[in-house]
Amino acid sequence: MNARGWAGFLGATVVALGLGGGAARASDGIEKGRALAERLCARCHMVPGQAEKRTANEIPGFAAVARRRGQTPEGIVVWLRSVPPMMPNHHLSQDEMYALAAFIMTLGEAGRR
């Protein structure tokens, strides 16, 4: 999905949430992302007490990724699409990438309050 498509998706999500029925759909996407993260990513990115990486060899926690300045779901998806060489290629679908990004972004909310 390009930037225009993502903007349209976000706009549609905001409208749907405002109409009431979208909250369940948004929650479903986040739960799908949580399930993916727990199955594929938790061992490296969801370690209790894990923070931002300080050196190139460290692995950042998802909460730290979500709290990065200027971080967006689209930024996470772009990074996932690039199949970073230091990570396994889980062959995620576009929908799975967006669900995972939505879940990751929820982890940064507590640190922003």
pLDDT value at residue 20: 47
Q: How many residues does the chain have?
A: 113
Domain 3-112 has CATH 1.10.760: yes
Indicate the DSSP class of residue 108.
Answer: T
Indicate the DSSP class of residue 87.
Answer: S
The pTM for the full model equals 0.73
Amino acid symbol at 64: A
Each residue of 30-49: pLDDT tens digit? 999 999 999 999 999 998 88
Q: Where are the domains of the chain?
A: 3-112
Each residue of 74-94: pLDDT tens digit? 999 999 999 888 889 999 999
